[in-house]
Amino acid sequence: MTQITRSMLEDLDARDPLAYFKDKFDLPDGVIYFDGNSLGALPKATTVRLEKVVAREWGEGLIRSWNDADWIGAPQRIGDKIAGLVGAEAGEVIVADSTSVNIFKLVLAALSLNPDRGTIIAERGNFPTDHYILQGIESLLPDRIKVVALERNEIEAAVDHDTLLVALTHVHYRTGEMFDMDALTGMAHDRGAMVLWDLCHSAGAVCVDLAKAQADFAVGCGYKFLNGGPGAPSFAYVARRHQAGAVQPLTGWFGHADPFDFAEEFTPASGIERFQVGTPAMLSLAALEEGVDVFASVDMADVEAKSLKMSSLFVDLIGQHCPGAGFELVLPLAKRRGSQVAFRHEHGYPIMRALIERGVIGDFRAPDVMRFGFAPLYIGFADLWDAAVILGDIMKTGIWQEPDYSIRLGVT
């Protein structure tokens, strides 16, 4: 392997079509941020927008702003913008609630489309909330729903005439491994099943083409690669062909055909609006809109290409700067992957704490995984070098062994 030098990486930065976007974010000096897959960075425009929404639209406009500032249209408007990033059409994506709640809504919507089937296939080791919501649905409808969690290589063989839904996360939160969305969706459809894709680690990070995959349902996070801010609302995608027939269970007034008719009986809206429940969280939506707007002039193919290049360079740099330090790459580089690299290390937690103290912010997923997420809009190639040098130093000096670093914080 040829040795990587910092000047090689500086050259890559100089030729990077996305380098221009870094200036759109407010990142603190001295921080190299590898956690955009958990909480995206703050776009500069968000600060300005929130000040305007709070002081002018809320403070002065008061309730008039639902109309005058088109607050009421925000869930659809932002949904349409996200649709453009995941290969969906306008009118197929709505922004509302959290990912957890949207999984609940869409699984039951799938059941309403095909009540003769009752098995939901999930992947063992998926993000916990996805499992928990499925378990909750199973205990709510024990006679109708059976959830089967399988290893990745067992999924295809298990899809059969009773499979209602295959519910999978496109890019695995811990390993970064990516499913072949087209192949898996096609396989499920051939057997009469539908697929719910969780795009939490995909939207804004890799190329997603829901239309090409003929996807049925999808959900995704607003606060990870879309930079919508802590707890930003999530998005839900329902293919247009399913919308008229799909009944979602949380029949709140914002899913009504005409909320301001104040009718006693629930009549669902005809399109994607029926997947809303209650009043939109406008301050959070305004922040999310700025996060999504950063992508307006971004080509997702550039984002994906840069992210893959960063992943492989980072793995090589860790090899170069931390020889024999015991970092075990979780997912081989040759595998289909998302925008992150994970290493196993028996002392992963204190090492990550020591890194964070030195300004290199990644995260830790129990029991032993150190995660480094690459948000290509605000990480440069030279940052990878600087982070690897710091990690090498932490390993050489053994500074990570300071007892404080082993104390577990509430959020890892």
Ligand X SMILES: *Cc1c(COP(=O)(O)O)cnc(C)c1O
Catalog residues that contact ligand X under the rule CB under 6 A: 98-100, 127, 129-130, 169, 173, 198, 200-201, 221, 234
Please indicate whether residue 173 is annotated as part of the active site. no
Rounded Cα–Cα distance for residues 43 and 294 (Å): 8
DSSP-derived 3-state class of residue 40: coil
- Lookup result for tokens 């100089």: 14
Cβ proximity to ligand X: between 205 and 355 the closer is 205
* CA distances (Å), origin 120, targets 108, 117, 167, 227, 357: 11, 9, 7, 31, 43
Q: Is 371 a catalytic residue?
A: yes
Q: Number of helices (H) and strands (E), helices first, in the chain? A: 14, 13
Look up 327 and say whether it is catalytic.
no
Beta-carbon contacts of 21 under 8 Å, excluding residues fewer than 6 positions away, are 294, 298, 377, 378
374 CB-side CA count, 13 A:
29
Q: Which is nearer to ligand X, 65 or 99 (CB)?
A: 99
Q: What are the phi and psi torsion angles at 219 (to 5°)?
A: -135, 165
Q: Is 302 a catalytic residue?
A: no
Q: How far is the CB of 222 from ligand X (least distance, A)?
A: 8
Q: Whole-number minimum distance, CB 169 to ligand X, in Å? A: 4
Minimum gap (Å) between residue 307 Cβ and ligand X: 16
Phi, psi of 371 (to 5 degrees): -110, 135
Q: Which of 21, 33, 34, 127 is catalytic?
A: 127
Q: Of 81, 105, 174, 224, which is the active-site residue?
A: 224
| 288 class by beta-carbon count within 10 Å (0-12 exposed, 13-18 middle, 19+ buried) | buried
Q: Is 198 designated active site?
A: yes
Nearer to ligand X, 235 or 378 (CB): 235
Cβ at position 151, least distance to ligand X in Å: 17
Side chain identity at residue 356, one-letter code: I
In the complex with ligand X, the residue whose CB is nearer, 216 or 363, is 363
Residue 343: which H helix or E strand, with range? strand 340-344
Residue closer to ligand X (CB basis): 34 or 173: 173
CA atoms of 202 and 190, how far apart (whole Å):
25
Among candidate residues 34, 223, 349, 372, the one labeled active-site is: 223
Residue 357's Cβ-count burial label (10 Å; 0-12, 13-18, 19+) is middle
Task: Enter the tokens of residue 211.
Answer: 């239309």
CB 292 → ligand X: shortest distance, Å?
A: 16
C-beta of 225: minimal distance to ligand X in Å?
Answer: 11
Pick 99 or 307: Cβ nearer ligand X: 99
| Residues marked as catalytic | 127, 198, 223-224, 371
